[in-house]
Amino acid sequence: MASRKLDWRDGRLDKIIAVGIASRSHDLCDALVALKYANEAAAYPAMLQAVQRMARHLNMRYRWRAEQQLAAMSKRVLDYWLSDHCRACGGVGHQHVEGAPARHHRVCGVCLGTGRRERPWLGRKLPPRLGEQASDAAQAARRKRVVDIMIERKRHDQLLEQLDRAERDVASALTWAVRGRHTGRS
């Protein structure tokens, strides 16, 4: 294992790792905690590398044969993950009604309650339908492009899902570590 890139303040990170985040590398945990929880922008390059490793893993596991796209895909997914709040509701999932009690808040019409903004890779438009006079070759080429775009969307979603899962692992390990400390367990 490469030397640790970050010294987590009070050794808590060692505890997180001791809790056993199966299949997650030390580098990923370090970078994720520093970037998302401690807001240390300097951890971005390490986090990007960790996401690229995740992408390479998926690429092998699902035989994507997408080596050329992994770097750009990783950056797109990481940047979204870092700032995924729905702009309309600020990430809470419902719209604040001025002066009304909380129960009168309406589900956000933009994110439909998820609190997340639209994933940017879904914004890529599908090619327009062709007229009946279009050749078979042109129709086939269009179909292939549609499939390529759908596959690309799915892969971005899979990588985001991995990242979300890593975050959940780290968050629950953190909760565990903090609780352990409060009750005096080591």
* Pick 69 or 113: Cβ nearer Zn ion: 113
Q: How far is the CB of 108 from Zn ion (least distance, A)?
A: 3
54 binds Zn ion (CB under 5 A): no
Does 174 sit near Zn ion (CB under 5 A)? Answer: no
| Residue 53: exposure state from Cβ atoms within 10 A (0-12, 13-18, ≥19) | middle
Between residues 52 and 114, which has the closer beta carbon with respect to Zn ion? 114
Which residues pair with residue 116 across a beta bridge? 85
**Of 38, 42, 88, 140, which lies in the binding site for Zn ion, with binding defined by CB under 5 A?**
88
Strands (E), 50-144: 94-95, 106-107
Minimum separation from the CB atom of position 37 to Zn ion (A): 23
CA gap 44, 34 in Å, rounded: 9
Per-residue contact string for residues 1-20; x = within reach of Zn ion by CB under 5 A: --------------------
- Closest distance between Zn ion and the C-beta of residue 82, in Å? 17
User: Would you mind telling me the total number of residues written for the chain in this entry?
Assistant: 186
Binding region for Zn ion (CB under 5 A) out of 69-77, 107-115, 138-146, 164-172: 107-115
Query: Please, what is the minimum distance in Å from the beta carbon of residue 38 to Zn ion?
Result: 26
Tokens of 17: 């790792």
Question: How many residues bind Zn ion, per CB under 5 A?
Answer: 6
- CB-based contact 122:14 (threshold 8 Å): no
Burial (CB count <10 Å: 0-12, 13-18, 19+), residue 87:
exposed
Q: Is residue 111 a contact residue for Zn ion (CB under 5 A)? A: yes
- Under the criterion CB under 5 A, does residue 105 sit at the interface with Zn ion? no
Q: Tell me if 89 contacts Zn ion by CB under 5 A.
A: yes
Please give the Cα distance from 76 to 74 (Å, whole number): 5
Residues with Cβ within 8 Å of 111's Cβ and at least 6 positions away in sequence, in order, are 86, 88, 89, 93, 117, 118
Pick from 110, 141, 149, 171: which binds Zn ion (CB under 5 A)?
110
Q: How far is the CB of 160 from Zn ion (least distance, A)?
A: 18
Q: What residues line the site for Zn ion (CB under 5 A)?
A: 86, 88-89, 108, 110-111
